[in-house]
Amino acid sequence: MTLFGVRVPMMASLILWCVLWEIVGRLDLIFLVPPFTAVLAAAWELVNTGTFQRATVTTLWAFFVGMGFAIAVGVPVGLLMGRVPAADRLLGMWVNVFVSAPLSALVPVLMILLGMGETTVVATVFLFAVWIIVLDTRAGVQHVPASLLEMARSYGAGRWRTLTRIVILSALPEILAGIRLGMIRGVKGVVIGQLLISIIGYGELFELYSRNFLMEQFWALTILLFAFAMLVAEGVGMLEKKIEYYAGVRQ
Amino acid sequence: MGAVRRIDAARAGRPGPATADPIVQVRGITKRYGSTEALKDVDVDVPRGKLTTLLGPSGCGKTTLLKIVAGLLDATAGEVLVNGKPISGPGPERAFVFQDFALMPWATVITNVAFGLEMRGVPKAERLETARHCIREVGLAGFEDRYPHELSGGMRQRVGLARALAVSADVLLLDEPFSAVDEQTRRKFQEDLLRLRHQENKTFLFVTHSIEEAVYLSDAIVMLSRRPGRVNRIIEPAIDRSGSPDEIRRDRHYLDTVEEIWHSLRDFVE
Ligand SMILES: Nc1ncnc2c1ncn2[C@@H]1O[C@H](COP(=O)(O)OP(=O)(O)O)[C@@H](O)[C@H]1O
Ligand SMILES: [Mg+2]
């Protein structure tokens, strides 16, 4: 970011926004915006409460189980679509519809199907994350250099070993990018799922705070969630960088 | 024309020129891509233990023909025999060296070189030893644990060559292996290829569009016409390769042959 021609590092601009928030909060203009320091204090208190910790466990569990399913289904389906044109034609339309559809609208349907419990939240995470993983995996498979596939064939690799030794490794950068984007969507999924059900995990807390106008706690929870989403994306991003060197080498 | 012995494919009658002991026989190969006819009724005999070159203008079907011989492409008509038996796909007696190297960027040099052996189920210790030997053979000793992106184009192609040597195939199929490397590397590579050809008792089928390269390296040159590619004629430049590379390049037969091919190619370029 540049400001008046001077490069401002990310952190500096973040601090600027925090200061601005603090001032607005101190001025007591809008009761919805308490001072930033008060929110931080609330955040610290919050993470030390049993309610929050239990909600965190519930949320993380739903998130990682949902993501696990999304990866376990998304990657193989993407591989299949990338390798088998018939499968691509059959599934392509649906994947493209769902990847950009407003999936929140489907959560009530899931609630009817799966009840008002954890399962629905897991299913929501899955539903939010899986499509982009499928699409990115498929793109990665389609970008495997034709000559690498010919090389494998000419040296006697069968279908299975071509898949495991060439296709998956070659598509790994795209697969990881898909998983990273899937995780960001998954965080959305877990929050929206919990909010709509509103008796589980953070959803219950959000419901509690907003109903009782506990704005400090409300914002504290929001900030913690944002931080979590960024941390998750950053983690996968780091993994991606590790293998990035060969993505650039491919023709 | 002195040492240049020519056989006119058309006059020698079919199938192709008579070769005492052909390891690869191409019989009436035609290849169509949709409505494009890339090859038409091609007959070629590749003599065992020799270096045969496919020479022709770009787009005449050289790569197509080589890939059909490799078993990577199906012909529209005709058949390829290796050691007298018709092929139905890639086989252990043939190894391919790719124009764009086709190295696995995530794997080290030695893993790349050992790939063919790994696919054949050779135990790890044994295949690494063979791979190490072949890496030395192509002059890359010390680079075993490097990654392809750390190597120059010429070195990458040496890895591709070592991989083909490692599986100890009888026939090496090389598709313009030097087209992506600079001129010095190219010359060095050509000399290495000549040396390898003498050391190892292998058959090379080599694709190039460089007349000089073809004459410098080959025992026989198969000249393909423009699309659809047909065997125009076969030249056997009997060049004395006992001298130094520079002496060979100044050799009168070498120069005459280059000149002659240039003239006959010019006929159908225009
Ligand atoms: N997969 C393909 N689909 C359609 N046409 C192709 C394909 N591959 C090659 N061709 C055409 O066949 C002809 C011969 O190609 P190629 O064998 O690559 O020639 P060369 O290697 O001699 O330059 C060219 O005209 C090319 O455009
Ligand atoms: Mg070619």
For A37-51, the pLDDT digits (tens) are 888 888 888 888 888
| A156 DSSP 8-state letter | T
Instruction: Summarize the confidence of residues B1-12 as an average pLDDT.
Output: 43
* pLDDT over 80 at B19, yes or no: no
pTM attached to this predicted model: 0.83
Q: Computed from CA positions of residues A178, A184, A185, A187, in that sequence, does the dihedral angle turn out positive or negative?
A: positive
Distance B60 CA to ligand 1 centre (A): 7
A143 and A213 in one domain? yes
> Band of the pLDDT at A63, cuts 50, 70, 90?
very high
Element at A165 (helix H, strand E): none
Closest CA to A189 of A175, A202, A199: A202
**Is residue A245 less than 8 Å (CB to CB) from chain B?**
yes
Q: What is each CA distance from A241 to A24, A167, A182, B238, in whole angstroms?
A: 39, 19, 17, 55
pLDDT given at position A2 = 63
Stretch A96-120: mean pLDDT: 87
The nearest alpha carbon in chain A to B150 belongs to A249
Are residue A109 and residue A22 in the same domain, yes or no? no
**Contact call for B167 and A155, based on CB within 8 A:** yes
Mean pLDDT of A157-173: 93
Q: pLDDT value at position B85? A: 93
From the list B163, B154, B152, the residue with the least C-alpha distance to B104 is B163
How far apart are alpha carbons A133 and A182 in whole angstroms? Answer: 6
pLDDT score recorded for residue A23: 86
Is the pLDDT at B2 greater than 60? The verdict is no
**Within this chain, do residues A27 and A56 fall inside the same structural domain, yes or no?**
no
Does the pLDDT at position B14 exceed 50?
no
Query: Which chain B residues are Cβ-neighbours of A152 within 8 angstroms?
Result: 119
Are both A55 and A30 inside the same structural domain?
no
pLDDT tier for residue B6 given thresholds of 50, 70 and 90: very low
Please report residues of B whose CB lies closer than 8 A to that of A250: 105
Q: What's CA A92's distance to the chain center, in Å?
A: 22
Residue A91: alpha-carbon gap to chain centroid: 23
Q: B156 or A12: which carries more pLDDT confidence?
A: B156
User: What distance in Å separates the CA atoms of residue A92 and residue A81, rounded to the nearest whole number?
Assistant: 8
Q: For B171-207, how does the pLDDT look when each residue is reduced to its tens digit (9 = 90+)?
A: 999 999 888 778 888 888 888 888 888 888 889 999 9
Domain co-membership, A183 together with A65? yes
Residue B10 has pLDDT above 80, yes or no: no
- Residues flanking ligand 1, CB < 6 Å: B 33, 36, 38, 56, 58-64, 227
- Same domain for A65 and A151, yes or no, is yes
Average pLDDT over residues A210-222: 86
Cα separation, B93 vs B88, whole angstroms: 13
| Cβ proximity of B71 and A154 under 8 Å | yes
Lowest-confidence region among A236-245, B121-130, B179-188, B212-221 = A236-245
CA of residue A99 to ligand 1 center, whole Å: 37
Residue B12 has what pLDDT?
40
* A8 pLDDT above the threshold of 80: no
**Residue A67 near residue A183 (C-beta atoms within 8 A):** yes
pLDDT score for A218: 87
Residue A131: strand, helix, or coil: helix
**Model pLDDT, residue A245:** 58
Q: Which residues of B touch A244 (CB under 8 A)?
A: none
**Whether the Cβ atoms of residue B49 and residue B95 lie closer than 8 Å to each other:** no
pLDDT of residue B99 exceeding 80: yes
Ligand 1 nearest atom to the CA of residue B34, by list position = 4
Asked whether the beta carbons of residue B100 and residue A147 sit closer than 8 angstroms, the reply is yes
Amino acid at B76: T
* pLDDT of B3 higher than 60: no
Domain boundaries, chain B: 5-93+173-266, 100-168
B25-42 average pLDDT score: 91
Summarize the confidence of residues A191-202 as an average pLDDT. Answer: 84
List the single residue in A145, A153, A249 with the smallest CB-CB distance to B149. Answer: A249
pLDDT of residue B29: 92
Instruction: Centre a 10 Å sphere on the Cβ of residue A91 and count the other Cβ atoms it contains.
Output: 17
Show the tokens assigned to B197: 């050809």
pLDDT of residue B16: 45
Cis bond leading into A102, ω under 30°?
no
Instruction: Identify whether residues A125 and A205 lie together within a single domain.
Output: yes
Three state DSSP letters for B190-201: HHHHHHHHHHCC
Q: Does A159 touch chain B (CB under 8 A)?
A: no
Are residues A60 and A36 located together in one domain of the fold? no
Same domain, A141 and A243: yes
What's the DSSP call for residue A104? G
Q: Note whether B98 contacts A151, CB cutoff 8 Å.
A: yes
Residue-wise DSSP of chain B: -TTEEEE-HHHH-SSSS--SSEEEEEEEEEEEETTEEEEEEEEEEEETTSEEEEE--TTSSHHHHHHHHHTSS--SEEEEEETTEE-SS--TTEEEE-TT----TTS-HHHHHTHHHHHTT--HHHHHHHHHHHHHHTT-TT-TT--GGGS-HHHHHHHHHHHHHHTT-SEEEEESTTTTS-HHHHHHHHHHHHHHHHHS--EEEEEES-HHHHHHH-SEEEEEPSSSB-EEEEEEE----SS-HHHHHH-HHHHHHHHHHHHHHHHHH-
The CATH number of the domain holding residue A78 is 1.10.3720.10
Q: Which residues contact A221 (CB under 8 A, 6 or more apart)?
A: A43, A46, A202, A205, A206, A209
Task: Report the relative pairing of strands B171-175 and B203-208 from DSSP bridges.
Answer: parallel
Is there a single domain that holds both residue A227 and residue A148?
yes
Contact predicate B148/B101, CB 8 Å: yes
Same domain, A83 and A159: yes
Q: Is the pLDDT of residue B257 over 90?
A: no
- State the pairing for strand pair B231-237/B203-208: unpaired
The protein residue with its alpha carbon nearest to ligand 1, atom 7, reads: B33
Structural domain including A1 reads 1-40
Task: Assign A236 to helix, strand or coil.
Answer: helix
Using a CB-CB distance cutoff of 8 angstroms, which residues of chain A are in contact with residue B89? Answer: 153
Tell me, in angstroms, the distance from the centre of ligand 2 to residue B220's CA.
Answer: 19
The fraction of chain A above a pLDDT of 70, given in percent, is 93
Ligand 1 pocket test, pick from B58, B64, B208 with the greatest ligand atom count within 8 Å of Cβ, gives: B64
When pLDDT is averaged across residues B135-162 and rounded to a whole number, the result is 91
Shortest CA distance from B169: residue in chain A: A155
Identify the residue whose tokens are 């591709």.
Answer: B160
Q: Which architecture, in CATH terms, is B5-93+173-266?
A: 3-Layer(aba) Sandwich (3.40)
Beta bridge partners of B236: B5
pLDDT at B246: 81
Any B CB within 8 A of A150 CB: yes
Cα B67 to Cα A77, B8, B60, B88, B94: the distances in Å are 31, 25, 14, 12, 11
Whole-angstrom distance between the N-terminal and C-terminal Cα of chain A?
Answer: 32
Residue with the smallest CA separation from ligand 1 atom 27 is B59
Q: What does the mean pLDDT of chain A come to?
A: 87
Confidence of residue B5 (pLDDT cuts 50, 70, 90): very low
pLDDT reported for residue A1: 55
Angle at A104 between CA A226 and CA A39, to 5 degrees: 25
| Atom of ligand 1 lying closest to residue B61 CA | 17
Give the count of domains, chain A.
Answer: 2
The encoded tokens of residue A125 equal: 């995470």
Q: What single DSSP character describes residue A32?
A: T
Across the range A150-176, mean pLDDT stands at 93
Whether residue A85 has a cis bond before it, omega within 30° of 0: no
Query: Which ligand is closest in space to the CA of residue B36?
Result: 1
Q: Which of the residue ranges A53-57, A245-249, B143-147 would you say has the lowest mean pLDDT?
A: A245-249
Q: Does A224 lie in the same domain as A183?
A: yes
Mean model confidence pLDDT for chain B: 86
Ligand minimally distant from the alpha carbon of residue B224: 1
Report in angstroms the alpha-carbon separations of B75 from B31, B54, B88, B223.
Answer: 5, 17, 10, 20
Burial (0-12, 13-18, 19+ Cβ within 10 Å), A105 = exposed
Question: Of B80, B40, B78, B37, nearest to B231 (Cα)?
Answer: B40
Atom from ligand 1 closest to the CA of residue B207: 21
Determine the residue among A151, A165, A170, A246 to mutate to test chain B binding: the one whose Cβ has the most chain B Cβ atoms within 10 Å: A151
Give Dmax over CA atoms of chain A in angstroms. Answer: 74
